[in-house]
A = this chain, B = another copy of it.
Amino acid sequence: MTAPKNKLAPTMNEVAKEAKVSVAKVSRVVNGKGGVKKDLEQRVLRAMKKLNYHPSSLARSFKQQRSMLIGIVIPLLEHPAYSRMASAIERRLFDYDYRALICNSEEDEERENDYIEMLLRQRVEGIIINSSARGTQHLAELRDNNIPIVLFDRMLQDVQCNQVFCDNSLGGYTGMRHLFELGHRRVGVIGAPMYPEPMIRRIRGTREAIAELGMDDDPALLVTGDTQLFDMGYQAAQHLLGLNVPPTAIFALTDVTAVGVMHAVAEMGLKIPDDVSVMGYDDLPIASYTIPPLTTIAQPLIEMGEKAVELLFKQIDDPDLAPEKAVLPTRLILRQTTALLRH
Contact = CB atoms under 8 A, between A and B. Distances in A.
Nearest to A61: B58
A230 B289 contact: yes
B121 A54 contact: yes
Nearest to A293: B263
A121 B229 contact: no
B285 A230 contact: yes
B259 A286 contact: yes
A58 B54 contact: no
A198 to B, nearest CB: 20
Interface residues of A, number: 74
Contacts of A117: 54
Contacts of A286: 230, 259, 286
Nearest to A9: B123
A78 B83 CA distance: 5
Interface string A1-34: 1111111110000000000000000000000000
Given A1-B96, A4-B316, A66-B3, A122 B285 contact: no
A57 B291 CA distance: 50
Contacts of A80: 78, 80, 83
A153 interface: no
Interface stretch (A35-43, A142-150, A177-185): A142-150
Interface stretch (A85-93, A132-140, A160-168, A211-219): A85-93
A133 B64 CA distance: 34
Copies in the assembly, this chain: 2
A194 interface: no
A5 B317 CA distance: 7
A97 to B, nearest CB: 8
Contacts of A121: 54-57
Given A286-B286, A291-B262, A291-B291, A54 B120 contact: yes
Given A1-B313, A62-B59, A123-B9, A86 B90 contact: no
A285 B234 CA distance: 13
A243 interface: no
Nearest to A147: B6
A2 B97 CA distance: 12
A58 B291 contact: no
Interface stretch (A98-106, A274-282, A326-334): A98-106
A145 B9 contact: yes
A123 B56 CA distance: 7
18 contacts: A1-B98, A4-B316, A4-B319, A6-B316, A9-B145, A52-B144, A54-B117, A54-B120, A54-B121, A56-B62, A57-B118, A57-B121, A58-B61, A58-B123, A77-B77, A78-B83, A80-B83, A262-B289
